[in-house]
Homo-oligomer: A and B are copies of this chain.
Amino acid sequence: MKPTIKDIANKAGVSIATVSYVINKTKPISAETKNRVQKTIKSLNYHPSKSARSLVTGKTGNIGFILTDDHFLRTEPFYTRIFLGTEFEARGEGYYILLTSIKPDFNEKDSLPRFILNKSVDGLLIAGKIPSILISRLSAYNIPTVFVDFIPPGNNYPLVLIDNIQGGLLATSHLINLGHRNIAYISGDIDHPSLSDRLSGYKQALENAKIPIRNNLIFTNTNYPDRQNGFYLAKKLFTNNKEVTSVFAGNDAQAIGVMHYLKDNGYKIPKDVSVIGFDDIEADLMLDPPLTTIRVPKVELGVEALRLIVNLLKNKKSIHKKILIPVDLIIRNSTSAYKPR
Which chain A residues have a beta carbon within 8 Å of chain B's beta carbons? 2, 47, 49-55, 60, 62, 69, 72-77, 80-81, 84, 87, 91, 96-101, 114-115, 117-120, 226-228, 231, 256-257, 260, 283-286
A-B contact pairs, 19 of them (CB 8 A): A47-B119, A50-B54, A50-B120, A51-B52, A51-B53, A54-B54, A72-B80, A72-B84, A73-B77, A73-B81, A75-B284, A80-B80, A87-B99, A87-B101, A97-B98, A97-B99, A99-B99, A227-B285, A260-B286
The distance from the CB of A275 to the nearest CB of chain B, in whole angstroms, is 15
Given contacts A72-B77, A96-B120, 19 further A-B contacts (CB under 8 A): A2-B119, A47-B117, A49-B55, A50-B54, A50-B118, A50-B120, A51-B52, A51-B54, A51-B55, A51-B60, A55-B55, A69-B84, A75-B283, A87-B99, A87-B100, A91-B114, A227-B286, A228-B285, A256-B286
Closest residue of chain B to A114 (Cβ to Cβ) is B91
Closest residue of chain B to A230 (Cβ to Cβ) is B286
The distance from the CB of A78 to the nearest CB of chain B, in whole angstroms, is 10
A50 & B50 in contact (Cβ 8 Å cutoff): no
Contacts of A69 in B (CB 8 A): 84
Closest residue of chain B to A253 (Cβ to Cβ) is B286
Contacts of A285 in B (CB 8 A): 226-228
Report the bound CA distance from A50 to B98 in whole Å: 14
Contacts of A80 in B (CB 8 A): 72-73, 80
Residue in B53, B77, B114, B119 whose beta carbon sits within 8 Å of that of A75 in the complex: B77
Report the bound CA distance from A119 to B48 in whole Å: 10
Closest residue of chain B to A227 (Cβ to Cβ) is B286
Report the bound CA distance from A87 to B102 in whole Å: 11
Contacts of A60 in B (CB 8 A): 50-51
Report the bound CA distance from A81 to B74 in whole Å: 11
Residue in B55, B73, B84 whose beta carbon sits within 8 Å of that of A84 in the complex: B73
Closest residue of chain B to A87 (Cβ to Cβ) is B100
